[in-house]
Structure formats: C-alpha cells, structure tokens
Chain A
Amino acid sequence: MSELFDVVLLTLLILTALAVARARDLAAAAILFAAYSLMLCLLWLHRGAPDVALTEAAVGAGVTTLLFLVVIARTSR
C-alpha cells in the first residue's frame, strides 16, 4: 500500500513535469509547476522528511510560483 502511494505520486510528478515543459502559456506553466512542487512535497512527507516537505511547500509552491507570476504579469500581459 505504501509502495503504491509512492508509485502514484511519482507518476503524477513525472506527468506534471512533462506538462510544465509542454505548456504553451507561461502562467499555466507556473501554476503546473506549483502542482509539481506540491506533489514533491507529499513525496517528501511520505518518505519521512517533514522538514524538507515544509520547505518545498513554502518555497517551491509558494514564493517561487508567486515570483514567476509577478514576472509574467510585469513582462507579457
């Protein structure tokens, strides 16, 4: 059961990574990247690294996504 959870998360991780690379819209790519970070955060948590998971959620999904969105808003739209 635990292994299955890992496999599902890793599959979703790879799928979101591919989706980020293939997205045509920059804002969509930034949001998909946040989803990737959340998936990775769950994976860290499940692997027994809650400190790293918290950092991933706060920095990877939070601050980085916001900075990407700010840059996109300032440049292209």
Chain B
Amino acid sequence: MNPRLAAAFVTGLAVPMLAAMAALPRHGSPDQPIHTHVAREYIESGPETGNLVTAILLDYRGMDTFGEVVVIFVGLVAVLVLARHREPALPAASPSPIVAFIVRLVTPFIALFGFHVILSGLEVPGGGLQGAAILGGLVILNGFVFGPQHARSLLPGRLLPWLQGAGPLAFLAAGIVGGIATGFALGYPTHLPLLHEAMLMGVELGIGIGGALIFSRLYLALEDA
C-alpha cells in the first residue's frame, strides 16, 4: 500500500476515535452507565467476601464461561485431528548448564504458584485460566529447554485423555449437581455453603488442570508437526 495513503487512512480513522474518547466519562467516575445499572446491583447483592470477577465468571454468566471452556477444548481437538504424531527427528539440543540449572530450580516453585493461583481465584485475583497458563507455560518452558520428550514425560499418562477435557467435564458436573440442588442448570446452592465451595473449587480445578494440559498438548503438536 502507498505509505501516504496509509497515513491518510490512519489519520482519518484516528480523528473520530479520539473525538469519541473525549466524550467518554472520566475513568472511575461513579455516575457512568456501567456503574449505575447491573454492576451496582451485583456488588450489593453478590457474595460478601471473595473475588467478584470469579463470582461473575462462574455464576452470573456461568453459561458463557462454560461455552468458552468448550471452545478451547474443541480447539485442541481440532489441532489433534490435524496433527499427526511423529517422533522428533532432531535430538534435543543440550542446554547450557546455567539455563538447565535455573529451569530445574524454578520449576517446582512455578508449579506451586500455578496451583495457588487456580485455588485462590475464589478469594483474590486469579483463577483457572490464569493458573492454566502458568502451568502450561511451565511445561512448554521445560520442553523448550530439555526437549519435547521431557515435556511429554511431565504429563500424566493414562488419565491424559480425561484430564484434557477436565474443564468442560467439571463444568458439566457442577451444572448437574447445581441443577439437582437448586432446580436451575448451573445454579449454585448458596444455602449449602460447603457444597457451593466444593463446586466452585471443582470448576476452577477443572479449568486449571484441563487448560494447562490443553496448552501443553498444543505445544507438543507444534513440536511434532
């Protein structure tokens, strides 16, 4: 494309965008529309303690999150259908001793932090997807440094097909249990605090572990391609 034409196009696009930005309410002002309708209602009648973001993701719009979890799982299935397993022809390059030592040193701490992020997501910022990215990134890091065979050895063996689908499966189980307890699909029984907590934990763990394995398998499919 002609650079002058491109510059004119971008400028023409920027002017209405900047004009629209000037009309936005100030950041954090309490009388802007998003703070006066649903959000206020939700903060006032939502959970007393805990992470409001998690409450909205798993309860208020739980069906949307269920759909997202299924989409990520279907993405992995599509990749696995297209990618054929092939033993890597190249042996893993031997990493420098410093890199190998550091990665071996930090691996258990990152793993612990990943599980902490998954499980503490109910109370503080965090949750299944973030923990999944941390754990999946850890597997990819190990594979990048020590070779894909090592990364594959970190994954569970026989349970892998089931654990990959842990996100949708845990969500489905929570939906059925909630349906029996409250009469609504994906309803959360607030009158049974222990069951409520267990359901939220189960869904977070399912998304976290399933998501981590999906990230890892996507990486391994890339290495085998």
A residues 26-58 touching B (CB-CB < 8 Å): 47-48, 50-51, 53-55, 58
Determine the interface band of chain B, counting residues with CB < 8 A from chain A.
20 to 34
Give the interface SS of chain B, mostly helix, strand, loop or mixed.
Answer: helix
Q: How far is the CA of A51 from the CA of B57 in the complex (A)?
A: 11
Q: Is A21 in contact with chain B by the CB < 8 A criterion?
A: no
Known A51-B53, A54-B130, A63-B133: A69·B125 in contact at CB below 8 Å: no
Asked if residues A58 and B140 are in contact (CB atoms below 8 Å), the reply is: no
> Would you call A23 an interface residue if the criterion is a C-beta within 8 Å of the partner chain's C-beta atoms?
no
Is B27's beta carbon under 8 Å from chain A?
yes
Among B38-46, B74-82, B215-223, the stretch in contact with A: B215-223
Contact yes or no, A74 B51, CB < 8 A:
no
Write the residues of chain B forming the contact surface with A, with a CB cutoff of 8 angstroms: 27-28, 51, 53, 117, 125-127, 129-131, 133-134, 136-137, 140-141, 143-144, 215, 218-219, 222-223
Give the B-binding residues of A (Cβ under 8 A).
47-48, 50-51, 53-55, 58-59, 62-63, 66-67, 69-71, 73-74
